[in-house]
Structure 1
Amino acid sequence: MREIKPVNNNGSIQLKFSVGGKRYSFNPIPGGQFTNHRDYKTAQAIASQIQNDILAKNFDPTLDRYRLTPKQPIQSSTQASKPLTLLELWDYWVDSLNLSVATRQHHYRAIRQQIIKANPDLLDTLWLTQSHLGASTFNQRLGYLKRCYRWAVSKTLVTSNPYDELKTRRVYAKSIKPFTSREIKVIIRGFEESAIHYAPFVKFLLATGVRTSEAIGLRWCHVDFDQGFITIQESLSRDWAGNGYQRVRKETKTGGSRHLGMTDELRLLLWSIKPPKPDQDSLVFTTVQGKTIDDGNFRERYWVKVLTKVGIDYRRPYTTRHTTASHAIDQGTPVTGVAYLLGHKDTRMVMQTYGHLVNRPDLPDIPIG
């Protein structure tokens, strides 16, 4: 299947493609400009969504699912009347940022929903400090609100920033409990007995340590049996601009790509599930019905049940990533190598998360007997 890409149509953005012999051509962003970086990236995301839906046989021929509402001109601070509530101020600020649809529908929308529920005035901070938010979420939202008010002060929409007086909360590091070699064998056996279709998917997660969205988005064109490596360069992540269940193909979390050399066992695993003549754009791992895997559905319907059945203490599927990293460190892989395997830009995250495993010294031999 030919990749769908935005094209320049006299300055506007056009998507052109064919499905089942029928040709489609439409502008996904009314008012958007091909030369505008944000508009172009949004169009790319929509093109990826269309391509994914075609592959998953979930394409909307009306195109309604892929159209954005026309861009509205943002009022300047001189045009806008001064806000009377935090909700009005929040909307002014978010509009000024000219965010992509996906970004706006993620953290910004979550904070807006909380503001709507509390309906605070411009100086009220109790709605945030008295909310039952975890420390990380509280700190994140406080940071957004501080930036919002600093912008508002600069635009003379408000005279002060009440959130500058609030302090962040202490975040306690969560203990990581990777799966042991014994637990890995028990989990794999559990999937082979109770959910055989997903056993290769679980084995792949454990063997590579890739992010779940990267495994879900892996295509056969990324698997090179001749050279013996897998290329991780994109993911199928939740489309926060949609209903949460749609997925959009995009670059990896850190924006880079990495080549993972296959072990003999991993090569045999992938070869065993490879179709005789696979479409290079088709997904390596799918649901039983051949659809895109939804990580939430997989966790609830299969992961939890298998772990419960085999008597393994529950840990989320992301623990497979911690497992790969900790076993790599135990087997002598340098920190720089672990960072590469996990797709981090540097070793900072590895040291922060797994530093207690690196070069662990033995206790000195003290004569206490």
Structure 2
Amino acid sequence: MLDGWEGKADKLQRRLQLEMEEWKLTNSDGTFNESRYREILVDQKLKPDLKVVNSTTVSSGQLPPKPELSLMEVWNIYCEYRKHDLRESTFVSTYQGQYKNFLKSAIEATKSEDALKIRNWLVENRNPKHVRQLLSNLSKAYRMGIKNKLLTHNPFEGMAEEITTKGTKGKTQNEVETENDDDVLDRAKAYTWDEREIILDYIKNNCPHWYFFTSFKFLTGCRTGEAIAFMWCDIEWEKERILIRRTYDVTTKKF
């Protein structure tokens, strides 16, 4: 048995953990990066430094340059990186849903992955606010790729800041005079009692299974997901109150 093998194994384990956290042991297609693993073994003096001759070696003796990742590959890597930082509903519906569909539509429409063409198509065909958020995340995705030596440049750098979101009557966001919302009990912002009765009466006669559910929402003002997630254990009978402690997300179908 090799002397000091426990220390060497512990040192190797720590090194591999760091490499995994920095995405260095995973290829762009998600497969295991065996070449990097061999380099680590050589560096730790656990394997002799043998030169491997590859059939793709060019006449100069240099390996051909690694091709740049596609736009969707960059986005998927970034999404996987952000997966544990976001709420599951946000990750599924926004990052893997809305934003991903935006990119696919732009690539298909422009027949290219040129950053400027992608940006212009998005601005002309999608909500500017969402486009700005997407471009900001794309820039972060490419910066992460550069940091991990998967990419060489960031074509979306600064594009998000150039988009001015339009607000009320075509004004820019900082030109919109927002209304003070001091009175949360302003009756002009809600259904009147008579309107409520008309709505509930219609539901009772046409969709009776929704009557008590809608009545509960009218009486409490809670959101739909909160009403769906409400349980008997959320009632404090002695104190005559209910507790809103969870919600139900229709995208992930989870509480």
Structure 1 unaligned spans of 5+:
1-71, 241-246, 250-369
In the alignment, the residues of structure 2 paired with residue 148 and residue 168 of structure 1 have an alpha-carbon distance, to the nearest angstrom, of 22
Q: Of 241, 244, 247, which aligns to 1:229?
A: 241
Structure 2 unaligned spans of 5+:
1-19, 29-65, 169-175, 180-187
The 1:98–1:191 alpha-carbon spacing in structure 2 relative to 1, beyond 3 Å, is closer
In the alignment, the residues of structure 2 paired with residue 82 and residue 159 of structure 1 have an alpha-carbon distance, to the nearest angstrom, of 13
Counterpart of 1:141 in structure 2 is 134
Report deviation, 1:221. Answer: 0.9
Counterpart of 2:166 in structure 1 is 170
Counterpart of 1:150 in structure 2 is 143
Q: Does 1:85 align with 2:78?
A: no
What is the CA deviation profile of residues 73-114 of structure 1, one whole-angstrom value per residue up to 9, with x for unaligned ones?
984399555534311221222233343765532211122233
Q: Does 1:218 align with 2:230?
A: yes
Structure with greater contact order relative to length (CA < 8 Å, sep ≥ 6): 1
Counterpart of 2:92 in structure 1 is 105
Superposition RMSD in Å: 3.3
5 Å matches for 1:159-308? 159-165=153-159, 166-172=162-168, 177-240=189-252, 247-249=253-255
Amino acid at match of 1:115: L
Amino acid at match of 2:250: R
Aligned 8 A contact 2:139 2:154 in 1: no
In the alignment, the residues of structure 2 paired with residue 151 and residue 195 of structure 1 have an alpha-carbon distance, to the nearest angstrom, of 52
Aligned 8 A contact 1:84 1:121 in 2: no
Which secondary structure does the structure 1 equivalent of 2:254 belong to?
strand
Amino acid at match of 2:153: T
The 1:78–1:193 alpha-carbon spacing in structure 2 relative to 1, beyond 3 Å, is closer
In the alignment, the residues of structure 1 paired with residue 241 and residue 21 of structure 2 have an alpha-carbon distance, to the nearest angstrom, of 48
Length-normalised TM-score, structure 1: 0.40
Flag the structure with larger Rg. Answer: 2
Report deviation, 1:210. Answer: 0.8
In the alignment, the residues of structure 2 paired with residue 238 and residue 86 of structure 1 have an alpha-carbon distance, to the nearest angstrom, of 29
Q: Does 1:129 align with 2:123?
A: yes
Identity of aligned residues (%): 20
What is the CA deviation profile of residues 103-131 of structure 1, one whole-angstrom value per residue up to 9, with x for unaligned ones?
5322111222332333242533233223x
What is the CA deviation profile of residues 277-301 of structure 1, one whole-angstrom value per residue up to 9, with x for unaligned ones?
xxxxxxxxxxxxxxxxxxxxxxxxx
What is the CA deviation profile of residues 160-186 of structure 1, one whole-angstrom value per residue up to 9, with x for unaligned ones?
343513324224489995212221121
The 1:134–1:116 alpha-carbon spacing in structure 2 relative to 1, beyond 3 Å, is closer
In the alignment, the residues of structure 1 paired with residue 90 and residue 80 of structure 2 have an alpha-carbon distance, to the nearest angstrom, of 12
Q: Of 113, 118, 122, which aligns to 2:106?
A: 118
Higher strand share: 1
The 1:123–1:78 alpha-carbon spacing in structure 2 relative to 1, beyond 3 Å, is farther
The 1:76–1:197 alpha-carbon spacing in structure 2 relative to 1, beyond 3 Å, is same
Q: Does 1:76 align with 2:15?
A: no
Amino acid at match of 1:116: K
Which secondary structure does the structure 2 equivalent of 1:76 belong to?
coil
In the alignment, the residues of structure 1 paired with residue 94 and residue 123 of structure 2 have an alpha-carbon distance, to the nearest angstrom, of 18
In the alignment, the residues of structure 2 paired with residue 79 and residue 248 of structure 1 have an alpha-carbon distance, to the nearest angstrom, of 32
The 1:135–1:123 alpha-carbon spacing in structure 2 relative to 1, beyond 3 Å, is closer
The 1:73–1:122 alpha-carbon spacing in structure 2 relative to 1, beyond 3 Å, is farther
Report deviation, 1:220. Answer: 0.8
